[in-house]
Amino acid sequence: MHEVSLCESIIKIIERQAEKDRFTRVVEVTLTVGDQSGASLEAMEFCFPMVAKGTVADGAKLIFTPVEGRDLRVSKLEVG
């Protein structure tokens, strides 16, 4: 299941941004996900909490914004 590695990459992006912007907690992560990205949203919802455990995104809610195409990107972080 490649969604685990996708979630790990998302966590790396979040942690780099947290270091840059000096925040310590993310409460919501919005992902733009293309209908041709090949990502399973259900699998990402399942994997994300396990991958995020112990990170700044521990307990964060995932929000998906569907779009056409192959995009898969972090489009918004809500920090708290």
Q: How far apart are CA 79 and CA 37, in angstroms?
A: 26
Please say whether the beta carbons of 18 and 12 come within 8 A.
Answer: no
pLDDT of 21 above 80 = yes
pLDDT score at 3: 93
Give the mean pLDDT of 13-33.
97
pLDDT score at 1: 56
Give me the domain span that covers residue 41.
Answer: 3-79
CATH code, domain carrying 32: 3.30.2320.50
pLDDT of 38 above 60 = yes
pLDDT of 15 above 90 = yes
Domain count within the chain: 1
Q: How far apart are CA 22 and CA 20, in angstroms?
A: 6
